[in-house]
Structure 1
Amino acid sequence: MAEQNRRTVRDLRRANRSAVLQRLYFEGPMSRQALGPATGLSSGSVSNVVAELTEDGLLEEAGLVESDGGRPRTLLRVAPTSGCLIGVDVGETRVRIELFDAALTEIARAELPLTHQGYDVEVIVRHIADGIATVLRQGRVTPDRLIGVGVGVPGILDRGGPDGAVVHGQTIGWHAVPLEALLREAVELPASIRFFINNGAKALGQAEMWFGGGRGARDAVIVLFGSGVGACIVTDGAIHGGARDSAGEWGHLTVSVRGRRCRCGALGCLEAYTGAEALLQRWQEAGGRLPAGTDEESGVTALIAAAHPPDAGTAPDPVAVAILDETAEYLGAGISDLINLFSPERVLIGGWAGLQLGPHLLPAVRSYATRYSLAHPAGRVTIDLGMLGPDAVTVGAATLPLADFFAGGGRRAAPAREAPDRTPPAGWRTVLEGRTPQGHTRGAAAG
C-alpha cells in the first residue's frame, strides 16, 4: 500500500509539472498568478512546481507585467536553452536533419542527397548518423543536452517487436526494416537518448496542429502532397495512431477500379493520379516534354509554367492545363472521402508539391471536394494550404520527443521500444513565425 501511495504522489507531481510546462510553452509567457486558473492548480501547487522547474533549468523569467494596483508580476516561460531536439525527414531525394533548441528555433541543418541510391536502407541509416553528428558539431551541442531524436519516414510503423520501431514501406521497397535498432547501432549517441520514429505525414500533421494552420482545431486533416500522398487525421484533438502507426495510407485509397498502376503495385490508387511522380508521368504520356535530367521538383515547376506561363504573351499549354485540372479533381475527390469519413473542421495541404501546386490548384480542389462530399460535413470544413513550408516534417519530427518530454513533466524517460503519440490540447500559439515556403527544399515522402 505504501508503494502504491508513493506512485500516486509521483504521478500527481509529474502531471502538475506537465500542465505548467505545456501551458507556458503554448500560451506563455505567463505569471504565477495566471498559471493557477489556466492549469486548475492551487497557488501553492503552482509555486512548488515553478520552483522545481526553475531549479531544473526548464523555466526562466521573461519580463514583468503591470498588475492592478500591486507590484509588477514576473512572467515565466519555458527556457529555450533547457534542451535540444533533432528532427529528421527521410524525404524523396535527400535526408534532412535539423537541430533545434527547446523553442524549436533552428540551430543547425544538414541535407544529404539520396540521388541514385533511392531508399537503400544502409545509405539512409548512414546519412542519418552522419547528419546527426554534423548538426551537433555545427551547433556545438553535446549529446547529453538532447531531449530526443524524432524521425519522419514513409510507410507504416510496427512497434510491437523486440527491435523497437519497424518500418513497412511498400512503395519504397522496405519490408519490416528494423529502423530503430539500425539507428541505435549506427548513431553515436548515449543509450539514454531515445528515437521517436513516425510516419512523415503524421509528423507534418503534428507540426501544423502545434504551430501552423491547425492551431485551435479539434478535428482536422493534414495532407502531405509530395512524390506520393498521405494524410494525418486528427479527431477530438488527438492524432490517429497506435502500435501500428501510419497516416491512414490515404494515398492508397482506390479511386479508379482497374485504373493506373500505383508505386505500391495496386491499380487505381489516389497516389497514382495525384502524386508528383505520377503527375509528371501522366503529362509526358499526354505529350508533355521534360528537359533531360529533370528531377520531380523542377518537373513540377515546368508543368506549372506550361499551364500558367509567366510571360503574358504566351498561351497556356492546353495539355498541361487539362492534366492539372484532372489532378485537382482526383485530389478533391480524395479529400471528399476524408470529409465524409471524419467531418473535419479544416483540411490543410502541405508537402513540397502541395505548396508548389497549391496556389494554382486550390480553388478547383475546393470546388471538387464540395461537389463530391455530403452537404453537411462539406458545409463545416475549410480547405487551405499548410503554413509551415515544405520542410515542416523536420519540425514535426522534433515535436515527437518534445511531446513525450512534456508528458513526462520535463524529465527524460528511460529508453523504450514504444514512442506513442501524445498530442497536447488545442489552443496553441506559434513559435515558428517566419518558417515560410520560400527558400526551402522538399518535404518527406507520403508513401
Structure 2
Amino acid sequence: MAEARRRTVRDLRRGNREVLLRALYFGGPASRQELGTATGLSAATVSNVTGDLLADGVIVEAGQVGSDGGRPRVILRANAEHGYAIGVDVGETHVRVELFDLGMAEQAKVEYALRPARHDVELVVRHILAGIDLVMAEAGVSQERVLGVGIGVPGLVERGPDAVIHAPTYGWQGVPLGALLRGASVLPSSQGLLGAQTRSPRTGTELPLYVDNGAKTMGQAELWFGAGRGARHAIVALIGSGVGASIVTDGMTYRGANGSAGEWGHTPIAVGGRLCRCGARGCLEAYVGAEGLLERYREVSPSADPLAEEVAGLAALLADGSAAARELMADTVTCLGAGLGNLVNLFNPERIVLGGWAGLMMGRRHLEDIRAATARHALAQPYAQTAIELGQLGADAVALGAATLVIDAFLLDSAPRTTDAAVLS
C-alpha cells in the first residue's frame, strides 16, 4: 500500500510539472500567480514545482513586474537553452535535418538531395546520421544536450523500437528505420527497397528517436505554431510529390486502428481513373500531387520540360498562360476541391490548412478558386463553418513538426533523460 501511495504522489507531481511547463511553453512568460490562475493549481503547488523546474534549469527567471501594493512579481519563462531537438524531413526529393532550441528557433540546417525515382534505404539512413552530426557540430551543441531526434517519413509507421516503415509509393516496404539508425547491420532480404538486401552504416545514433508520418508532423507544427493554432478540429493537408493529411479531432491527432489514418491522397475521386503510384486507379494523388500533375502537364503541353525537377516544373505550369495549361489547372483545382469537400463532409473541421510545397505554390495563386471548388463539393452547413487557409511554416514544416515530437515528449517528462530510449511513433 505504501508503494502504491508513493507512485501516486510521484505521478501527481509529474503531472503538475507537465501542466506548469506546458503553460509556460505555450502561454509565454508568466508570474507564479498567473500560472496558478491559468492552471488551477494551488499557490503552494506552483511554488514547489516551479522551484524544482528552476533548480533543474528547465525554466529561468525573466525579470520582475510591479504588483498592486505588494512586492514585485518574478516572471518565469521556459529556458530555450536547456536542450535541443533535431527534426528530420525524409521527403521525395530530399532529406532535410534541422537543429532547434527549446524555443524552436533554428540553430543549424543541412539538406541532401534525393532522386525522386529512387529512395535507397542505406543512402537515406546515411544522410540522416550525417545530418545529425553536422548540425550539432555547426551549432556547437554536444550530444548530451540534444533531447532527441524526430523524423517525419512517408507512409505508415509501425509503433515499436524498430519504427518499421511501410511506404509503397516511396519504394519502402517493412523498412526498420529505427533499428537501422541505431546501427543494425543488415535488412532481411524480404525487407527494404524493393526487397533488396541493404546494409546500414557501421555506427548509429544513441539519441532518442521519434518517428511519425510526415503529414502528421507537419500537422502538429501548424497546430503549435502556424495556421492551425487554436483550432480543436482541423485538417492539415500536405501536397507535395504525393498527398497526405493530418486529421485533428478535439485537439488530438486521429490515427485510426494502426496509425494509417490520413492517407487522403489515396481516396478515389474517379472510378477507373488514372493509375496512382500506389497501384490503384483514380486516387486524388494522381490528379493533384506534383508528380501526377506534371505527368498530366507533359501529356497536354508541348512546352512542358520532361526533364524539369518538380518544383521548377510546377512553377512553369503555374506560369504557363496557354489554354491547355489553364484548363489543366482548372481541372486540378476542381479535383482538389472535391477532395477537400470530402474532408469537410466526413470530419466537419473548423479549419483546413493547405500546406506542403506544392500545396503552397498552388494555393498562393488559386486559393479563392480552391475555396469555391470546395464549396461546390461540400455540404453547405459544415462548409460555412470551415475556414480554408494556407500553411504558415513553409518548406520547413515537416522537419519543425518532427522536432515537436521530441519537445512533446520532453514536456511530458522533463526530468533528466537517459539515452536508452525506444523509438516512438
TM-score (norm 1): 0.88
CA contact (8 A) 1:117 1:123 kept: no
Residue 63 of structure 1 deviates from its aligned partner by 2.2
Which among 337, 341, 348 is matched to residue 343 of structure 1?
A: 348
1:359 matches 2:361:
no
What CA deviation, in whole Å up to 9, does each residue of 1:118-157 have, x standing for no partner? Answer: 2111110010011101111111111111111000000011
CA contact (8 A) 1:148 1:401 kept: yes
Which among 254, 260, 264 is matched to residue 274 of structure 2?
A: 260
Per the alignment, residue 194 of structure 2 pairs with none
> How many Å separate the matches in 2 of 1:190 and 1:114?
22
**SS of 1:328's equivalent?**
helix
> How many Å separate the matches in 2 of 1:239 and 1:299?
33
Per the alignment, residue 308 of structure 2 pairs with 294
What CA deviation, in whole Å up to 9, does each residue of 1:389-423 have, x standing for no partner? Answer: 12211100000011011111444377454625xxx
1:330 matches 2:344:
no
RMSD: 1.7
Per the alignment, residue 164 of structure 1 pairs with 162
Q: Which amino acid aligns with 2:58?
A: L
Per the alignment, residue 138 of structure 1 pairs with 138
> How many Å separate the matches in 2 of 1:194 and 1:187?
18
1:5 matches 2:5:
yes
Per the alignment, residue 180 of structure 1 pairs with 178
Per the alignment, residue 435 of structure 1 pairs with none
Q: Gaps spanning 5+ residues in structure 2: where?
A: 184-200
Which among 305, 313, 329 is matched to residue 319 of structure 2?
A: 305
Q: How is 1:35-46 mapped onto 2 (pairs within 5 angstroms)?
A: 35-46=35-46
Which among 288, 291, 298 is matched to residue 284 of structure 1?
A: 298
CA contact (8 A) 1:260 1:268 kept: yes
Per the alignment, residue 319 of structure 1 pairs with 324
**SS of 1:391's equivalent?**
helix
What is the total number of aligned residue pairs between the two structures?
408
CA contact (8 A) 2:182 2:205 kept: no
> How many Å separate the matches in 2 of 1:229 and 1:333?
14
1:94 matches 2:94:
yes
> How many Å separate the matches in 1 of 2:287 and 2:423?
35
What CA deviation, in whole Å up to 9, does each residue of 1:238-280 have, x standing for no partner? Answer: 0112673335210000110100000111100000000001111
**SS of 1:81's equivalent?**
coil
**SS of 2:211's equivalent?**
strand
Residue 291 of structure 1 deviates from its aligned partner by 3.2
Range moving further from structure 2, 399-408 or 282-291: 282-291
1:381 matches 2:386:
yes
Residue 317 of structure 1 deviates from its aligned partner by 1.0
Residue 65 of structure 1 deviates from its aligned partner by 1.9
Residue 220 of structure 1 deviates from its aligned partner by 0.1
**SS of 1:129's equivalent?**
helix
> How many Å separate the matches in 1 of 2:43 and 2:204?
40
Range moving further from structure 2, 242-251 or 21-30: 242-251
Per the alignment, residue 128 of structure 2 pairs with 128
Q: Which amino acid aligns with 2:240?
A: G
Per the alignment, residue 440 of structure 1 pairs with none
**SS of 2:282's equivalent?**
coil
Change (3 A) 1:413 1:331: farther
Per the alignment, residue 248 of structure 2 pairs with 234
Residue 293 of structure 1 deviates from its aligned partner by 3.1
What CA deviation, in whole Å up to 9, does each residue of 1:160-190 have, x standing for no partner? Answer: 5xx5311000111111110111111159676
> How many Å separate the matches in 2 of 1:342 and 1:25?
29
> How many Å separate the matches in 1 of 2:354 and 2:369?
13
Q: Which amino acid aligns with 2:231?
A: A
Per the alignment, residue 442 of structure 1 pairs with none
Change (3 A) 1:190 1:48: farther
> How many Å separate the matches in 1 of 2:267 and 2:202?
36
Range moving further from structure 2, 230-239 or 407-416: 407-416
> How many Å separate the matches in 1 of 2:21 and 2:374?
39
Provide the identity percentage: 51
> How many Å separate the matches in 2 of 1:102 and 1:75?
18
> How many Å separate the matches in 1 of 2:35 and 2:258?
37
Residue 61 of structure 1 deviates from its aligned partner by 1.4
1:398 matches 2:403:
yes
> How many Å separate the matches in 2 of 1:132 and 1:239?
27
**SS of 2:366's equivalent?**
helix
Per the alignment, residue 283 of structure 2 pairs with 269
> How many Å separate the matches in 1 of 2:364 and 2:403?
28
Q: Which amino acid aligns with 2:385?
A: R
**SS of 1:261's equivalent?**
coil
Which among 196, 211, 227 is matched to residue 197 of structure 1?
A: 211
Q: Gaps spanning 5+ residues in structure 1: where?
A: 307-315, 421-447
What CA deviation, in whole Å up to 9, does each residue of 1:329-351 have, x standing for no partner? Answer: 11110011111111000000001
Change (3 A) 1:237 1:168: same
What CA deviation, in whole Å up to 9, does each residue of 1:84-116 have, x standing for no partner? Answer: 000000012110000111101111101111137
What CA deviation, in whole Å up to 9, does each residue of 1:360-403 have, x standing for no partner? Answer: 22111111111111122111001010011122111000000110
Change (3 A) 1:194 1:244: farther
Residue 33 of structure 1 deviates from its aligned partner by 0.9
